[in-house]
Structure 1
Amino acid sequence: MANVQTLDPNASPLDYYGWELRRLREAAHLKQGQLGDIIFCTGSLIGQIETTKKVPTRDFSERVDAALGTDGLFSRLVGLVLRSQLPTWFQPYADMEAQATYISTYQAQVVYGLLQTEAYARALLAVGNPDKVDEMTAARLDRQRILHAANPPASWVVLSEAALLQEVGGPDVMRRQLTRLLEFRDHPWVQIQVLPFTAGQHTGMMGTFTLLRFEDDPDLFYVDSYDQGHMTANPHVIKERTVGYARLQATALSPEDSAALIARVMEERYGDQP
């Protein structure tokens, strides 16, 4: 209880969320276990979120809003909380990604973050962040909400064939991940192409990069490295990378042939083995 009492609501979005949850729960004259019973979770989880030991999910926040009659307060706060779990250097890009009208990305090694399944994302993030994998996975999945918004960005994704063959999380995780990619075949705003190894040298040899376009703001080019990201609106860089991306698309398999390759790899490499 001492941890709850000393929580500083100004320290971070997560601290503010926990502080508000405790304040409004107590204002409703509910103990942690009583609120847990109402929203179908344990009182322990309520306590862990109030003391910032656990990061709330969007579903949890919606149920708390309904139980406490808080007019969507926690549903609004949880977006800030999840965004704050992203690496500090990545947050400016995530803010711009959420505002983009067009997203064009080339992924040299792994599946694009907005298309990842929870299990795939968790396996990736656990490599370098074993102590924060729950929080970072939740943050990554929350980024994906833009694809299901009322006015989603038009997204073009070129995946190196390496992303299909690099096993992440085991065969079952990969099979489910490739199934997820195939589910986007009929999505009106997402196009996936695979760049096969047979393409040889190409304009994406420098590695993964993303181009963001906006209705009224300059285009942005983004590339990240091990511990930082680089974002620029330099017109020369934008022109060069835009042309390079167009060449990647022209070199890659068509969306239909890409889907066929994904399905073949899924069955031959990650299917049920005798």
Structure 2
Amino acid sequence: MANIRDLDPSASPLDYYGSELRRFREEAGLKQGELGGCVFCTASLIGQIETARKVPTRDFSERVDAALGTGGVFSRLVGLVLRSQLPSWFQAYAEMEAKAAYISSFQAQLVDGLLQTEGYARAVLGVRNGNNLDAKVAARMERQRILEREHPPLCWVVLSEAVLHQEIGGRMVMRNQLAHLLGLRRREWVKVQVLPFGAGAHAGLPGSYYLLRFDDDPDLVYTEDFVQGHMTANPQALREGSLRYDHLQAAALSVEDSAALIARVLEERYGHHPESDGHAVA
């Protein structure tokens, strides 16, 4: 029999998810292996999730809901579980990001987290420590679900040209990431501009940052250092952040010219050939 440990459902979203999975499975009269067979995974994985030793994915949760007829219980719970896997200092920002009507960011070194592919995110998050990497990547991918909503936020990102050339995760990962950025042109609520090297000294030299605007809450500025994040609604900080962003957008290439530069770097640096209409080949 699989090793079963007592869970305190109130200890964390992951513990609550595990205890609910065990409860629903036992009420259905299924052993771990039998449920595993229904959702195309091993009994061991079921046991690890039930004992809060493994973080479930959204795909797993949807399959469990279908197999156990839960009415979407686990599909709803998994969002809380994945958010809890974010760094504690980042969780408050993630909650506000999910409520924002307008998200604008300047990124000096990396593709914005909302626009990263899974491979790129895995390379970034695993650069120092590979522990719990699957959960970290799943949590980052979960954040991106706000762009899939019926009424998504407008997301405007200015990337330093350096981001296109910094090879994160290898050539294939970068090829897929830049192709993904080009594919985002099909989403009218996502806009990407590139700040070219030719811009010289610019308003973003102090570093990357985010501006969040809301329908019913005060606007926010968010910055990070290598230890933690800093979020403020201070009017002076908002004024400075907004002014700097206006200057960055003015210095950056247009959305159309930015896409052309991304396509050129994709072809010349990473060996990818866009289609004749400028859209990247998948």
TM-score by length of 2: 0.94
2:217 and 2:10 map into 1 onto residues whose CA distance is 32
Q: Which runs of 5+ in 1 are unaligned?
A: none
- The residue that corresponds to 1:179 in the other structure is 179
2:223 and 2:14 map into 1 onto residues whose CA distance is 28
- The residue that corresponds to 2:204 in the other structure is 204
Q: Once the two structures are superposed, what CA deviation does each residue of 1:113-143 show, in whole Å capped at 9, x if it has no partner?
A: 0000000000110113311211000000000
2:2–2:47 contact (8 Å) kept in structure 1: no
- The residue that corresponds to 1:147 in the other structure is 147
Q: Once the two structures are superposed, what CA deviation does each residue of 1:179-207 show, in whole Å capped at 9, x if it has no partner?
A: 00000112110110000111001110010
Larger deviation, residues 161-170 vs 40-49: 40-49
- The residue that corresponds to 1:28 in the other structure is 28
- The residue that corresponds to 1:270 in the other structure is 270
- The residue that corresponds to 2:62 in the other structure is 62
- Three-state SS of the structure 2 residue aligned to 1:143 is helix
- Three-state SS of the structure 1 residue aligned to 2:89 is coil
Measure how far apart 1:2 and its partner are: 7.8
Q: Which runs of 5+ in 2 are unaligned?
A: 273-282
Larger deviation, residues 64-73 vs 187-196: 64-73
1:107 and 1:66 map into 2 onto residues whose CA distance is 40
- The residue that corresponds to 1:261 in the other structure is 261
2:220–2:233 contact (8 Å) kept in structure 1: yes
Distance 1:2 1:45, change over 3 A: closer
Q: How do 1:16-95 and structure 2 match up within 5 A?
A: 16-95=16-95
1:235 and 1:55 map into 2 onto residues whose CA distance is 39
- The residue that corresponds to 2:242 in the other structure is 242
1:3 and 1:74 map into 2 onto residues whose CA distance is 23
Residue type of the alignment partner of 1:164: L
Larger deviation, residues 204-213 vs 180-189: 180-189
- Three-state SS of the structure 1 residue aligned to 2:193 is strand
- Three-state SS of the structure 1 residue aligned to 2:187 is coil
- The residue that corresponds to 2:216 in the other structure is 216
1:58 and 1:34 map into 2 onto residues whose CA distance is 20
Q: Once the two structures are superposed, what CA deviation does each residue of 1:40-80 show, in whole Å capped at 9, x if it has no partner?
A: 22212111111222111111111111111111111111000
1:97 and 1:204 map into 2 onto residues whose CA distance is 21
Residue type of the alignment partner of 1:120: Y
Which portions of structure 1, spanning 4 or more consecutive aligned residues, are displaced by more than 4 angstroms? none
Measure how far apart 1:38 and its partner are: 1.0
What number of residue pairs does the alignment pair up?
273
2:109 and 2:128 map into 1 onto residues whose CA distance is 16
1:82 and 1:37 map into 2 onto residues whose CA distance is 24
Larger deviation, residues 101-110 vs 49-58: 49-58
- Three-state SS of the structure 1 residue aligned to 2:126 is helix
- The residue that corresponds to 1:168 in the other structure is 168
Measure how far apart 1:3 and its partner are: 5.3
- Three-state SS of the structure 2 residue aligned to 1:156 is strand
Measure how far apart 1:266 and its partner are: 0.8
RMSD: 1.3
Measure how far apart 1:216 and its partner are: 1.2
- Three-state SS of the structure 2 residue aligned to 1:90 is helix
2:90 and 2:4 map into 1 onto residues whose CA distance is 30
2:258 and 2:94 map into 1 onto residues whose CA distance is 27
Residue type of the alignment partner of 1:161: E
- The residue that corresponds to 1:227 in the other structure is 227
1:18 and 1:86 map into 2 onto residues whose CA distance is 18
Measure how far apart 1:106 and its partner are: 0.1
Q: Once the two structures are superposed, what CA deviation does each residue of 1:151-208 show, in whole Å capped at 9, x if it has no partner?
A: 0000110000111111100000000000000001121101100001110011100100
2:20 and 2:148 map into 1 onto residues whose CA distance is 29
Measure how far apart 1:150 and its partner are: 0.5
Q: Percent identity?
A: 67
- Three-state SS of the structure 1 residue aligned to 2:203 is coil
1:184 and 1:102 map into 2 onto residues whose CA distance is 17
2:202 and 2:13 map into 1 onto residues whose CA distance is 43
Measure how far apart 1:224 and its partner are: 0.9
